[in-house]
Amino acid sequence: MWQRIKQAIKIMWQEKSLKAGWKHFLEINILAGLDKAYQNQDSLAALPAIDLDAEHPKYIIFSDQHRGARNGADDFQASERAYNAALAYYFEMGYHLIALGDVEELWEERPSKVLRNYTRSLELEAKFHEHGRYHRVFGNHDDIWKSARLVEHYLQSTFGAKKLIVYESLRIPVQQNGEDIGEFYLVHGHQGSIESDYLTRLSRIFVRYIWRVFQGITKKRLNTPATNWQKRQLTNIAMYNWAAAQENLVLVTGHTHYPVFESKTHEAQLVEALERAATPADRAAVAAELEWVRAQGSQPPQANEAYPEAEKSCYFNSGCCSFSDGKITGLEIVNGRIRLIRWPDDTGEPNAKELTSAPLHSVFATVNANIGPIEPVPTPLELPLVANGHKHTVAA
Ligand SMILES: [Mn+2]
């Protein structure tokens, strides 16, 4: 930590800017946090490998349910219906379910209260576990599951006889013709952040006893990567930089509550789509969508805050399962593709709507020099990454 403080002071001095030094400090802490999680072999599980061209195993990744106590501060309630429907579907289709952290909102509520309020969602998750297809990671809001004793005490009875282990991170080896060519590395994404990792105990006390009361009166949101554009951007850049520095690795996180696909946010994809737009009508539609999405973040980017060029498709984010309009987003890995999906579909029916997708082959070709490129498949304009009307009030 002392090294990182010294480095930040150096940047501050060189750039003559307090802000530059602080931003640098936040970023290098996230990089160090991810390094530490990746090296923490005791809390890293390897899941069944996937082949670039194989149909099985299938994975569905959901994060940030933030299940509460069915009161005003509970952000999952509106999404419960879509979430339960999605779990029923993925179970029958033989998917593995990855719960990527912040499943329970335990900064605001006590565990027994939350678990009591969402028994059906837990039962649906437990079915995956019974069949060896449930893989769970802790986030900052449910980091009590770091403790095997507390998992045993609160969760085990719902999950049956088979022992439930909650990990810090997961890896899915990726193969081509039986040979390892890379891996998906999955982690919640709060690692190394000052308020969500180092000061987590203090944050929990603050949220539970002070913020909740304040929020009840003012309806103000907590200032976190889920609600603050700049914090989210900083987190996204740090995630990308960490992943890009690894070999043959694709990072998947949650935590910020906004999906990222092939290292690009919805905004960044729309900026690109605007350049590609062929007709005035296309251009108008994309321009409208872009402003719609921009104004959604409480602090839209300044004109000079360009999105970094993402050369590698090494960073994905599953979004969240607690959008205030009741929608949920997740990532499917199936049939040689990775897909960003949203439940429900456009008509409000319990089906997955594909927002965008890419072949695993082309994703891993960007991180592994030995894999030849294939024809890129551009994201169709008619498939916006995040549906209109997504807003939320959750702390990341
Ligand atoms: Mn989080």
The domains located in the chain, with CATH, are 40-367 (3.60.21)
CA of 304 to the centre of ligand 1 (A): 28
**395 CA → ligand 1 middle, Å:** 7
Residue 155: the pLDDT is: 96
pTM of the model: 0.86
What is the distance in A from the centroid of ligand 1 to the CA of 218? 22
* Torsion over CA: 146, 150, 155, 159 (sign): positive
Distance (angstroms) between ligand 1 centre and the Cα of 10 equals: 30
What pLDDT, on a 0 to 100 scale, did the predictor assign at position 270?
Answer: 81
Ligand 1 center to 383 CA (angstroms): 27
75 CA to middle of ligand 1, Å?
Answer: 13
Rounded to the nearest integer, the mean pLDDT of the chain is 86
For residue 396, the CA-to-ligand 1 centroid distance in Å is 4
How many angstroms does the Cα of residue 276 sit away from the middle of ligand 1?
34
Those residues with Cβ within 8 angstroms of residue 116's Cβ, 6 or more apart along the chain or in another chain: none
Burial class (CB in 10 A: 0-12, 13-18, 19+), 384: buried
CA 361–ligand 1 middle distance (angstroms): 30
Residue pair 185/252 in contact by the 8 Å Cβ criterion? yes
**Ligand 1 centroid to 336 CA: how many Å?**
29
**d(CA 175, ligand 1 centre) in Å:** 30
Q: Can you read off the two tokens belonging to residue 309?
A: 């060029």
Low-confidence ranges of the chain (pLDDT < 50): 298-299, 303-305, 380-395
CA separation for the pair 266, 284 (Å, rounded)? 17
Spacing, Cα 141 to ligand 1 middle (Å): 6
What pLDDT sits at residue 76? 94
The pLDDT of residue 2 = 81
pLDDT value of residue 389 = 36
Q: Ligand 1 centroid vs 349 CA: distance in angstroms? A: 28
